Structure 1
Amino acid sequence: MVKDSARSWFVLAVVTFSMFLEIGTIKGFSILLPDLKHQLDTHTWIIGSSISIMTGFGCTFSLLTDALVKIFSPRVCVMTSGLIASTGLIVCSLATSPFTLLLGLILTSSLLIQETVVIGILPDYFDRYFNAAVGIFSCGTALAILTLPLPIQILLDTYGWRGTLLLLSGIVLHSVPCGSLLGVEKKVEKRECEQIFDLSMSHCNSGSDDTHGLSDLPRRLMGLHLMTRLSFVTRVFVQSLACGYIITGWLIYMVSFAISKGASLKEATIIVTSGGIGMLAIRVGNTMLHKIMTYKQLLYLASAVMAISLSLMTVFTNFIVLNIISVIFGGAIGVFGMEMYISAKVNSSDSDHFHSIAWLHLSFGWAAILSGFITGYLFDMTGSFTISFNILAAVSLLATLSLAVGDFLIRSN
């Protein structure tokens, strides 16, 4: 197929919409968290952990997306995941207990599988403008944080949390017609014995005594060989662990954090929206950023700014100051999340890109589950988010340390 063509930009629009749906759904649940906690008569950490499990569950299964795309096609995968996610939100709207809510959230997690699919096919459509494409589809995250909090708050006041979730289900269902507009071609051409597992033909013809192909299966299917590369582990895997922990803690608990600082629910929603403004502004200027700095320099800078801004959030209580800090943090996490995808492409070959994105999402999901539990549990135990948000800041510094140690070891070798 022709890269950087008009069709490529059309596919990019589908990718951007997928990112918008995923982050918008997580942000919607974070705004509904206080009502869910009250209506289901449970603890903050239980609801927060359930939301993060939705992220983690979908990211864990993202390792299988390469095989799914080879068996079916990006079109089928995106349409099916959108339908399952919409059904999951309907189940959430009918929840009468935390367990029922968790069941619906697990179904909704298929949005994460959809995200891996659409990002994984991006190098098939872009070459020269790949960095610009990353900046554009990353704007889907920023737009969701910027545009959805206030409408969701209005819907919550008007229809309650059950009605709001039903409306979110309808929005997510739009990914089905969007997915139908993708091309029918598969990422790789189907071939006998190679269409699923990417094994060489010699393994198929060598007879049952040759076990090398079977032993090679996990590496081919899940890209395990990437985890033996120091550059990939320190610049992609650890960075996505940090990003998953930080952004999940912020997305799920920022509204509750602002309320604990004395803000009203609407003021807390505005503070979150400010973060979306910062994120969108920095991602629109993505191309210019890469003319000034490399992706590694941007990762260093973003992790340092995130650590400082998260620490300052625990100190100040003024509404205007919190909005300013939120804009700065949004810009920093916007750069950090965007550079992870560029780092994943730089530190893996084109044939490994699907696996690279899958491992990135897997580590993101594992960290998201931890963040959802630890951040909420510490609040329930202490009645304050101070310790939790300082831990988020410490994780940012660990990301910087990982980059520095990795670069030192790579140079020394």
Structure 2
Amino acid sequence: MTTSDEKLEGGGRMSGITTPPEGGWGWMIVAGCFLSTICIRAVTRCVSMFFVEFQLHFEKDYSSTAWIHSLIDCTTMLCAPLGGFLANRLSCRATMMLGGLLSSAGLVLSSFASSLEFLYVSLGVITGLGFALSYTPAIAMVGRYFSERKALAYGIAMSGSGIGTFVLAPVVQLLLERYSWRGALLILGGLVSNLCVCGALMRPLTLAEDSKLVESMNLNNIDAKIENSGLKTSPAESLASTKTSSRSRCLSLESREEYGFLLIPDFLILSVSFLFLAYGCSAPVVYLVPYALSMGLERQRAAFLMSIFGVGGIVGNITFGWITDRKCLKRYRMLSYVVAIGMAGFCCMFLHLLHSFSLLVPFSLLYGYFDGAYVALIPVVTSDIVGSSCLTSALGVVYFLHAIPYLISPPIGGWLVDRTGDYAATFSLSGASFIFSSVVLAAAMLVRHFQKSAARSSPAAQLILM
């Protein structure tokens, strides 16, 4: 619902809105985010399909080759706060379009790579930086247009990752066979340039809660300060000095409001769990295709596993989004998130025991389902804790926390494969990390539950209730 003074300003900005529209142009925002996750997360996942090609072409071991995927994931997450910062200072639209240009250029440059180190920079750093500038603003915009149907909107938007993986995996394998890895990267560069189109859809939206800080620093305050200022300076100098001081104080206050969520205990606990989650989720995606090939599967069948993984992600995105938007289940969003993480961990723990295509298919479907579930719920549970006004900055921090685990997980997994000769230790470590992430949140939820129960049973609480 919006107020009667809703209007569209010259720059395409909607103002005078007291609550998120819950639809309208919001569905175009969801479509833009959906396409963005295809171009970012699905393409990043499909980079794992280049693993064997890079390894054979440059004659490198598992650990060295794994740094490519690590760097692109790490840079995307490490620079996520930069994406949030630029989106708040410029606009989500401009930031996403800049990211689209950078990531497309990185993929095109990668098609001319002459060494693995070249790919570290072009594919890992440049493309990753472009993805970072596009990813955070796209996800944050969905949270600004939806509140009551937020989980469903995010479920649809984030399903782009699964749908993109389902479609792109066989396409990328076909491109690799027909045009080699260089031609495939060049074509992916053209695909990723569509992030500029997605950015153009991001119409800015100003909610009532965003304007409270600005309204408190209005011209009346400046006039009052001018009247109280001394007579040693001219009126013009006094006005300029006071405006500068007010502007500085406003920026300082705005920064405190923008990053005040960092002191919320629930957000700090969530942040700790993200570190273990990020470590757990990276290696299984990177090594699923190489593991299938090591089991003797044909390349097309190995690529098909990534498509199945994508299908599971689609179902997980949408079903968990729809279910957790029900009024009776909204209070259990965090519990749903914890269950999804824990189940993904159990799937990973048993992956090394599966040695045939008929067993790897249900794994890919089940693991993809829970992966899609928690991916869709990450921005939802974050928004529930920090609020929609701080969501852009909070998501920047959330994805920043993914950076180092994303960086070290695939190389450590590759090192374990090189040392042990199989994938058991790599997948088991990922599964354990998933499970520990869910245990951290479950423990925090139990402590909070017992604290509330103790507060209700205390004499003081009973007096209040009476």
TM-score (norm 1): 0.89
Q: Which residue of 1 aligns with 2:191?
A: 171
In the alignment, the residues of structure 2 paired with residue 188 and residue 358 of structure 1 have an alpha-carbon distance, to the nearest angstrom, of: 23
Could you tell me how far 1:357 is from its partner in structure 2? 0.8
In the alignment, the residues of structure 2 paired with residue 157 and residue 137 of structure 1 have an alpha-carbon distance, to the nearest angstrom, of: 31
Question: For 1:238, which of 258, 272, 276 is the aligned residue?
Answer: 272
SS where residue 179 of structure 1 aligns? helix
Question: For 1:308, which of 330, 341, 346 is the aligned residue?
Answer: 346
- Give ranges in structure 1 of 5+ residues lacking alignment: 195-200
Q: Which residue of 2 aligns with 1:229?
A: 264
In the alignment, the residues of structure 2 paired with residue 216 and residue 88 of structure 1 have an alpha-carbon distance, to the nearest angstrom, of: 38
In the alignment, the residues of structure 2 paired with residue 261 and residue 142 of structure 1 have an alpha-carbon distance, to the nearest angstrom, of: 24
- 1:170 is aligned with what amino acid? G
Could you tell me how far 1:282 is from its partner in structure 2? 2.3
CA-based RMSD: 3.0
In the alignment, the residues of structure 2 paired with residue 312 and residue 383 of structure 1 have an alpha-carbon distance, to the nearest angstrom, of: 17
Between stretches 57-66 and 356-365, larger displacement belongs to 57-66
- Give 1:73-84 correspondences, 5 Å limit: 73-84=91-102
SS where residue 6 of structure 1 aligns? coil
In the alignment, the residues of structure 2 paired with residue 338 and residue 239 of structure 1 have an alpha-carbon distance, to the nearest angstrom, of: 16
Deviations 1:185-244 (A, max 9, x none): 6899999x98xxxxxx99995988xx98898787566x2x43332211223x23433332
Question: For 1:21, which of 39, 63, 83 is the aligned residue?
Answer: 39
1:377 corresponds to 2:415 = yes
Q: Which residue of 1 aligns with 2:61?
A: 43
- 1:80 is aligned with what amino acid? L
Q: Which residue of 2 aligns with 1:197?
A: none
SS where residue 128 of structure 1 aligns? coil
Question: For 1:266, which of 290, 297, 300 is the aligned residue?
Answer: 300
1:113 corresponds to 2:133 = yes
Change (3 A) 1:227 1:381: farther
**Identity percentage of aligned residues:** 20
Between stretches 47-56 and 316-325, larger displacement belongs to 47-56
- 1:156 is aligned with what amino acid? L
- 2:444 is aligned with what amino acid? G
Contact 1:306 1:333 in 2 (8 A): yes
Contact 2:321 2:376 in 1 (8 A): no
1:401 corresponds to 2:433 = no
Contact 1:74 1:186 in 2 (8 A): no
- 2:126 is aligned with what amino acid? L
In the alignment, the residues of structure 1 paired with residue 60 and residue 392 of structure 2 have an alpha-carbon distance, to the nearest angstrom, of: 39
SS where residue 249 of structure 1 aligns? helix
Q: Which residue of 1 aligns with 2:155?
A: 135
Could you tell me how far 1:43 is from its partner in structure 2? 2.1
Q: Which residue of 1 aligns with 2:71?
A: 53
Could you tell me how far 1:184 is from its partner in structure 2? 5.7
Question: For 2:364, which of 317, 326, 330 is the aligned residue?
Answer: 326
Question: For 1:352, which of 383, 390, 395 is the aligned residue?
Answer: 390
- 1:37 is aligned with what amino acid? Q
Contact 1:230 1:406 in 2 (8 A): no
Could you tell me how far 1:246 is from its partner in structure 2? 2.6
Contact 1:70 1:186 in 2 (8 A): no
In the alignment, the residues of structure 2 paired with residue 216 and residue 107 of structure 1 have an alpha-carbon distance, to the nearest angstrom, of: 34
- Figure out how many residues of one structure are paired with residues of the other and give that number: 404
Q: Which residue of 1 aligns with 2:228?
A: none
| Bigger Rg over Cα | 2
In the alignment, the residues of structure 2 paired with residue 118 and residue 407 of structure 1 have an alpha-carbon distance, to the nearest angstrom, of: 30
- 1:42 is aligned with what amino acid? K
Question: Structure 1 residue runs of 4+, over 6 Å off?
Answer: 185-191, 201-204, 211-218
Change (3 A) 1:287 1:69: closer
- 2:166 is aligned with what amino acid? L
Contact 1:243 1:336 in 2 (8 A): no
TM-score (norm 2): 0.79
- Give ranges in structure 2 of 5+ residues lacking alignment: 1-13, 215-220, 226-240, 453-466
1:283 corresponds to 2:302 = no
